Copies of this chain bind each other. A is one copy, B any other.
C-alpha cells in the first residue's frame, strides 16, 4: 500500500453551522491540502462544504462520501464522490476511510462519526469551544475501553499538525 494520507473532517451540516464554524473548517481544509493529505468529508453542507472549499483552494484533493445514490447531492467542492446509497450508515465509511479525524463542532451526525472512529481506533483531534454533543468527550475517552483519546486543540493549524503527528506515531 502506498496510498496518500487521508484526513476526515467532520462537523455541523447546514443545520447549526455558524460562520465561525465555516471559517475554521475552511482553514482546516486549507491546512490539510498544504500538508499534501487528501481531504475526506461527508460531502454535504456546513463544515463539510467549507472544509472541501478550503482544501480545494489549497490545491488539495477532496473526496465526499454521501448517504444518497446520486452524486449530484454532493457539494460543489468534492473532486470525487462516493454515493453510498446506504443512508446515514455511511458515517462508518467516513470513519473507516480516515487515517485521522478532525472534529469541528457538529451535532448528532458528527457524534455518530466520532463514535464510529473511536470504535475503529482512529486518531482524533477536536477544535475546542465549538459546541455540540462531542464537546463533552474532548480530552477524554468515549467509554471505559479507552480506545483512543479525542485530543483538544485550539486552531486549524494546530489541529492538522497534531493529527499528522498522531497518524505518524
Contacts and interface: CB of A to CB of B under 8 A. Distances in A.
Contacts of A58: none
Contacts of A65: 82
Contacts of A145: 15-16, 107-108
A27 B31 CA distance: 36
A93 to B, nearest CB: 6
Given A107-B144, A108-B119, A4 B96 contact: no
Given A86-B87, A88-B119, A143 B132 contact: yes
Contact of A108 (B2, B83, B107, B115): B115
A1 B71 contact: yes
A74 to B, nearest CB: 6
